[in-house]
């Protein structure tokens, strides 16, 4: 009985692979959206996450803009040996963050929150809360 079950499982598996192969072939024959459009779509339609992480490295916030959902949080981590801050206008101001130090802020209201590093005015970023 066990052997039969194994055989059925194996056949099902092979059949599934075969069907997947056919489907793949069909898809490649069908008219396709140019791959450049696909990647653009992926970037623009990236769903908002509940939380995000921003790396501070080489005097840059990366990614410069993050989109999160209401109630989510953003955590910044400083990967520079130089100190930086995360100063969100009218909301929060991290202390000076040393190497590998983190700062987390929760965002309860939808909106756009530009922020800067008060030590290096050229360092800017934005949190979009949806």
Options 53, 120, 124, 126; binder of Cu ion; rule CB under 5 A: 120
Closest of 120, 56, 127 to residue 88, by C-alpha = 127
Dihedral angle sign, alpha carbons of residues 24, 29, 33, 39: positive
Per-residue string for binding with Cu ion, 20-49, x by CB under 5 A? ------------------------------
**Radius of gyration (Cα) for the chain, nearest Å?**
24
- The residues that bridge with 53 in the sheet, in sequence order, are 75
Q: Which window, 2-10, 24-32, 87-95, 113-121, contacts Cu ion (CB under 5 A)?
A: 113-121
CB of 119 to Cu ion, least distance (A): 4
In terms of DSSP H, where are the helices of the chain? 2-29, 35-44
Residues from 75 through 104 that contact Cu ion (CB under 5 A) = 84
CB of 52 to Cu ion, least distance (A): 19
116 binds Cu ion (CB under 5 A): no
CB of 19 to Cu ion, least distance (A): 55
Give the integer Cα–Cα distance in Å for 71 and 108. 4
**Contact residues for Cu ion, defined by CB under 5 A:** 84, 117, 119-120, 123
């Amino acid at each position: 009985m066990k052997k039969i079950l194994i055989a059925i499982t194996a056949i099902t598996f092979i059949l599934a692979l075969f069907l997947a192969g056919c489907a793949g072939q069909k898809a490649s024959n069908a008219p396709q959206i140019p791959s450049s459009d696909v990647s653009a779509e992926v970037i623009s339609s990236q769903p908002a996450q509940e939380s995000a992480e921003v790396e501070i490295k080489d005097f840059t916030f990366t990614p410069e803009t993050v989109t999160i959902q209401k109630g989510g949080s953003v955590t910044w981590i400083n990967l520079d040996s130089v100190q930086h801050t995360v100063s969100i206008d009218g909301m929060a101001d991290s202390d000076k963050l040393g190497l590998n130090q983190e700062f987390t802020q929760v965002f309860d209201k939808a909106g756009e929150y530009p922020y800067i590093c008060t030590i290096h005015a050229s360092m800017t970023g934005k949190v979009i809360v949806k």
